Structure 1
Amino acid sequence: MELNHKYKRNKSNKPSGYEQVLEFLEKLEHPLKPEIEEVRRIILNSNDQISEHIKWNAPSFCVNNQDRITFNFHGKEGFRLVFHCGSKKTDYADKAPLIQDDSGLLEWSAGDRAILTFTSTSDVEDKKGKLNEVVLKWIAVTKDI
């Protein structure tokens, strides 16, 4: 099977972001690993502009080579997705949230940063449809920031 360009190794023969994530997930020990893999699939399938790599010791999803959504496995209560505009504070941080979150899934820590928490298999199932909507909105609004 021919791999999409975002999955191929680069010229230095360094593992691609996709390969980095596969290796990371293979070694990951987490009680919700299947749920993490399901959330990853949802994000990757939501938009063909999304690529992935490892950032902050977790899979991170990018658009235009800019990190936009990153897993966070810290804490004992499941896992989180951090919706952000990179590691530096933006002009949007002190303003209203970048997107209208009709889903009610996001917890805003700044105008340009929100967190979505998953605590169980059923929680992932319950949020699956709305997650796709939130990802699409976030990518649309942040892709050029």
Structure 2
Amino acid sequence: MVDSFLETLDHPLKPVIERLRLAVLDADDAMSERIKWRAPSFCFNSVDRVTFNLRPLHHVQLIFHRGAKTIEDDFHFDTAKWTGLLEMIGQDRGQVIFPSAEVATARQDEFVALVREWVRA
């Protein structure tokens, strides 16, 4: 399903999206994916945790979350560790924006480490 979706995707940064998709899937064996909100979304224990936002055409944006709705609890995640990569946009939501293919390539290992830590938090 995701492969079919990506085959028809018209986005100037499609190669970056495809590369990051594989990186997220490789980040943890327990990750699965589906199309949600008209974009690839990655689940951990059946809960969406990382989702592409494909609307911006000038950069690649991934939303880090803990499901569709904010969860009111004590979410302990060391955001300071990810300063400069992860921008928090809510209590339990953040975003990573790659402005170019070069930046995505340069920060891919750090991004994968962030995904691993986020999904298990």
TM-score of the pair, normalised by structure 1:
0.77
2:37 maps to 1:56: yes
* Counterpart Cα distance in 2 of 1:90 and 1:107: 18
State which structure, 1 or 2, has the greater radius of gyration over its C-alpha atoms.
Answer: 1
Inter-partner Cα distance in structure 2 for 1:39 and 1:76: 16
List 4+ stretches of structure 1 deviating above 2 A. none
Answer yes or no: is the 8 Å Cα contact 1:68–1:83 preserved in 2.
Answer: yes
Q: Can you list the C-alpha shifts for 1:63-85, whole angstroms capped at 9, x where unaligned? A: 11110000001224312000001
Q: 1:90 aligns with which of 46, 54, 71?
A: 71
Partner residue in 2 for 1:65: 46
Which residue of structure 1 aligns with residue 105 of structure 2?
125
Question: Unpaired runs of 5+ in structure 1?
Answer: 1-19
Matching of residues 5-16 of structure 1 within 5 Å: none
SS at match of 1:52: strand
- Percent of aligned pairs sharing the same letter: 38
1:129 alignment partner, SS class: helix
Structure 1 residue corresponding to 2:82, chosen from 103, 111, 114 = 103
Match in the other structure for 2:118: 138
Quote the RMSD (CA, aligned, Å): 1.4
Structure 2 distance, partners of 1:98, 1:26, is: 37
Structure with a larger share of its residues in strand? 2
Q: Match for residue 8 of structure 1? A: none
TM-score if structure 2 supplies the norm length? 0.92
**Higher RCO (CA-CA < 8 Å; seq separation 6+):** 2
Name the CA distance, whole Å, in 1 between partners of 2:2 and 2:63: 17
Question: Which amino acid letter does the alignment assign opposite residue 32 of structure 1?
Answer: L
Q: Distance in 2 between matches of 1:75 and 1:37?
A: 16
Q: Deviations over 1:90-115 (max 9, x none)?
A: 114xx7x7421323211101120000
* Structure 1 residues 129 and 28, CA gap change in structure 2 (3 angstroms): same
- Does the CA-based 8 Å contact 2:63-2:94 persist in structure 1? yes
Matching residue's letter, 1:110:
G
